[in-house]
């Protein structure tokens, strides 16, 4: 989507009326909308993701749930989390949430990464890992509030959902969106998806009896480029530990903006200090200091009579 | 005098003495035996390997050119913890080797009060009660011991990562690991300066293991007295009265 704007015609010779295409792309930022209220847990998105990204088969795990495996893997970026929730009236509710990279506006992985160019954020909001620059330190794992980046011990690189940046750059929707049979997954500009999500949440509140329904787009990380419509937006933890208030550890800010430049400069002062000491005070020599052939004679007030000069 | 450490020490010393050789001539004292020197240079090698492989991870926009030395970023990252382990092991042995002479004494507290005169060059001789190590060396030694413990704890946390230790623990460990490294980096400048151009004659104590008698009575008078039985201050005065010796080729 982002490359469309560069090819937008701005002037056209001898053309009457408005230039075609002007104002069509209102918003550069893309967004995936996941409406958890219409998800049926078919896992078509999981399959489509593995298919499109051509990833090796990841063994599934049975843990008394329909969930394919406990959490996403380096070769399994898209996982439906199944949660059985007992409501206050005792009835059961099945909460299904598509777990993948949230493509945060302020990505903690990118903030933590020490490798030049290993994590990039495109103008359309997609956060992408560039494995050729990755050094495999796994700092991004500690930066991510959603436990998304996964380390592959064989390649010593970290992988995650790309929001199908390859497809999106060609004007296609991500593979998971394409596969979804119920339309619970939607893809478009951030503005459109937010508006769509809000109207769906309003519908849920006013016509379906979900008074707490709302949109998940946490402000603590500047919003995300994957947003959820939840039956109960006041309790996102119900949906497989979706953090209510995702945070990037404060230590990263201290580390990058205080510890690195300030302490780095201070330790260089050690070098400056000893050089300064050498040219001002000079070295300490064993006493009594031996005379050197090139040195001038000793000061006259002590040596003038003895040396006879 | 036969604790496990000392028995090991004697054994290792015997082994290294067969490899190395300390030649002490007239007018010189043996300061560091082969075992100590071997440990010192192993610590130094691993320190710089860990330092340079860590630089590229610490501040890539300034130090990324260190990475190709280690075969690129991923390899530097993979080897950095092992360099750190090497540093910790050899420094650990050195710590055991030096634990006794590095013990803080009342003389060191007096030395610290005298620090300004020594650094500014007003006081050319060390205080007469300065033994094998002075207070500055002891501070650096104990700083490295604390720093190495911090390195080990935070380094193992970073090595196994957020999957094992949790996000915040790892995030805090980065900061502490960096702070520890930068304090040591600050210290290494002073250490290298003092042992080379800042105090001529010192470097040979870690190469050949020997120092001149003059060096010993000037910088470690109490040690000189213990080894030779002569009073260091009297020795200085005698040497001064007999006139400064003829120039020798510079040692450094």
Shortest CA distance to A197 belongs to which of A209, A207, A187?
A187
- pLDDT cut 90: percent of chain B above it: 57
**ipTM tops 0.85:** no
Q: Do A251 and B168 touch (CB under 8 A)?
A: yes
Q: What's the topology of domain B4-17+26-112+129-241?
A: Fumarate Reductase Cytochrome B subunit (1.20.950)
Chain B: residue nearest A254 by CA?
B175
Identify from A142, A248, A281 which residue to disrupt to test chain B contact, counting B C-beta atoms within 10 A and taking the largest count. Answer: A142
A2: closest CA of chain B, how far (Å): 28
Identify from B143, B162, B200, B212 which residue to disrupt to test chain A contact, counting A C-beta atoms within 10 A and taking the largest count. Answer: B162
Mean per-residue pLDDT of chain A: 88
Chain B: residue nearest A271 by CA?
B189
Q: What is the per-residue pLDDT for B8?
A: 62
Is the distance from CB of B107 to CB of B114 less than 8 angstroms? no
Give alpha helix (H) positions in chain A.
44-52, 108-112, 139-143, 165-169, 175-179, 190-207, 250-254, 264-280, 300-307
Mean pLDDT of B162-173: 90
Using the predicted structure, report yes or no on whether residue A195 has a pLDDT greater than 80.
yes
- pLDDT cut 70: percent of chain A above it: 91
Shortest CA distance to B73 belongs to which of B59, B91, B97, B57?
B57
Please, what is the angle between helix B34-58 and helix B4-19, to 10°?
A: 90
Using the predicted structure, report yes or no on whether residue B139 has a pLDDT greater than 80.
yes
Mean per-residue pLDDT of chain B: 87
B32: closest CA of chain A, how far (Å): 18
For residue A80, report the phi and psi dihedrals to the nearest 5 degrees: -85, 120
Chain B: residue nearest A134 by CA?
B74
Q: What is the per-residue pLDDT for A304?
A: 41
Which residues are CB-contacts of A194 (< 8 A; sequence separation ≥ 6)?
A: A31, A215, A217, A227
Residue pLDDT, tens place only, B117-138: 989 988 888 999 999 999 999 9
Q: What is the per-residue pLDDT for A291?
A: 60
Residue pLDDT, tens place only, A107-120: 999 999 988 899 99
Q: What is the per-residue pLDDT for B19?
A: 53
3-state helix, strand, coil in chain A (%, to 5): 35, 15, 50
A114, A254, A264 member nearest B175 (Cβ): A254
Is the distance from CB of A31 to CB of A188 less than 8 angstroms? yes
**A117 CB within 8 Å of a chain B CB:** no
Q: Do B161 and A136 touch (CB under 8 A)?
A: no
**A292 CB within 8 Å of a chain B CB:** yes
Using the predicted structure, report yes or no on whether residue B88 has a pLDDT greater than 80.
yes
Distance CA A200, CA B232 (A): 90
In the structure encoding, which two tokens stand for residue A101, read together? 């990279």
Q: Do B190 and A293 touch (CB under 8 A)?
A: no
Chain A: residue nearest B155 by CA?
A137
Q: What is the per-residue pLDDT for A307?
A: 39
Residue pLDDT, tens place only, A243-294: 999 999 888 877 777 778 888 888 889 999 999 999 999 898 888 876 655 5
For residue A298, report the phi and psi dihedrals to the nearest 5 degrees: -60, 160
Please, what is the angle between helix B232-241 and helix B221-228, to 10°?
A: 90
Q: What is the per-residue pLDDT for B210?
A: 87
A283: closest CA of chain B, how far (Å): 4
Chain B: residue nearest A153 by CA?
B78
A12: closest CA of chain B, how far (Å): 44
Is the distance from CB of A151 to CB of A138 less than 8 angstroms? yes
Count interface pairs A-B at CB distance under 8 A.
159
Question: With contacts defined as CB-CB under 8 Å, which chain A residues touch B150?
Answer: none
Distance CA A308, CA A300 (A): 10
Chain A, residues 143-172, CB within 8 A of chain B, namely 143-145, 151, 156-157
Residue pLDDT, tens place only, B177-198: 999 999 999 999 999 999 999 9
DSSP A5: G
Distance CA B199, CA B206 (A): 13
Residue pLDDT, tens place only, A155-176: 999 999 999 999 998 889 999 9
B179, B183, B198 member nearest A274 (Cβ): B198
List Cα–Cα distances, A66 to A42, A48, A185, A240, A282, in angstroms.
10, 18, 20, 13, 76
Give alpha helix (H) positions in A26-107.
44-52
Using the predicted structure, report yes or no on whether residue A136 has a pLDDT greater than 70.
yes
**A274 CB within 8 Å of a chain B CB:** yes
Indicate the domain borders of chain B.
Answer: 4-17+26-112+129-241
Using the predicted structure, report yes or no on whether residue B227 has a pLDDT greater than 90.
no
Chain A: residue nearest B123 by CA?
A284
């Amino acid at each position: 989507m982002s490359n469309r704007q560069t090819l937008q015609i701005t002037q056209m010779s001898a053309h009457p009326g408005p230039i075609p295409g002007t104002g069509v792309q209102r918003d550069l930022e893309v967004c995936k909308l996941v409406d958890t209220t219409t998800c049926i847990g078919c896992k078509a998105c999981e399959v489509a993701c593995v298919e499109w990204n051509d990833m090796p088969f990841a063994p599934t795990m049975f843990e008394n749930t329909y969930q394919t495996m406990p959490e996403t893997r380096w070769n399994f970026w898209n996982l439906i989390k199944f949660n059985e929730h007992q409501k206050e009236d005792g009835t059961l509710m099945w909460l299904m949430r598509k777990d993948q990279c949230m493509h945060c506006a302020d990505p903690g992985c990118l903030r933590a990464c020490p490798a030049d160019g290993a994590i990039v954020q495109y103008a359309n909001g997609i956060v992408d890992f560039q494995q050729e620059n990755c050094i495999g330190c796994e700092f991004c794992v500690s930066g991510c509030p959603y436990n998304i980046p996964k380390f592959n011990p064989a390649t010593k690189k970290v992988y995650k959902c790309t929001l199908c940046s390859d497809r999106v750059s060609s004007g296609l929707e991500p593979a998971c969106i394409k596969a979804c049979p119920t339309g619970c997954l939607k893809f478009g500009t951030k503005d459109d998806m937010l508006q769509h999500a809000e109207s769906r949440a309003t519908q849920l509140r006013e016509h379906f009896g979900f008074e707490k329904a709302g949109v998940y787009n946490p402000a603590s990380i500047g919003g995300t480029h994957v947003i959820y419509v939840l039956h109960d937006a006041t309790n996102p933890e119900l949906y497989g530990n979706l953090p209510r208030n995702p945070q990037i550890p404060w230590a990263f800010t201290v580390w990058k903006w205080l510890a690195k430049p300030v302490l780095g400069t201070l330790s260089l002062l050690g070098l400056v200090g000893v050089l300064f000491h050498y040219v001002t005070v000079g070295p300490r020599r064993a006493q009594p200091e031996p005379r050197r052939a090139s040195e001038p004679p000793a000061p006259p007030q002590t040596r003038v009579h003895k040396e006879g000069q | 005098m036969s604790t496990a450490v000392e028995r090991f020490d004697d054994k290792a010393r015997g082994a290294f003495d067969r490899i190395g050789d300390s030649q002490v001539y007239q007018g010189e004292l043996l300061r560091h035996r082969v075992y100590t020197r071997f440990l010192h240079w192993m610590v130094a090698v691993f320190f710089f390997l860990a330092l340079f492989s860590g630089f590229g991870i610490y501040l890539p926009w300034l130090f990324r050119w260190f990475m190709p030395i280690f075969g690129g970023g991923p390899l530097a990252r993979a080897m950095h913890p092992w360099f750190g382990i090497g540093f910790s092991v050899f420094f650990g042995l050195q710590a055991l080797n030096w634990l006794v002479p590095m013990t803080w004494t009342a003389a060191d507290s007096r030395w610290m009060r005298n620090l300004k005169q020594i650094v500014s060059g007003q006081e050319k001789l060390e205080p007469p009660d300065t033994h094998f190590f002075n207070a500055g060396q002891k501070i650096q030694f104990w700083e490295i011991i604390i720093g190495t413990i911090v390195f080990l704890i935070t380094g193992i946390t970073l090595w196994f990562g957020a999957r094992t230790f949790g996000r915040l623990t790892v995030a805090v460990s980065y900061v502490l690991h960096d702070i520890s490294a930068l304090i040591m980096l600050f210290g290494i400048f002073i250490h290298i300066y003092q042992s080379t151009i800042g105090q001529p004659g010192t470097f040979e104590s870690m190469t050949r293991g020997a120092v001149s008698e003059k060096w010993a009575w000037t910088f470690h008078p109490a040690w000189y007295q213990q080894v030779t039985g002569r009073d260091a201050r009297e020795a200085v005065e005698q040497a001064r009265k007999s006139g400064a010796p003829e120039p020798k080729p510079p040692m450094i």
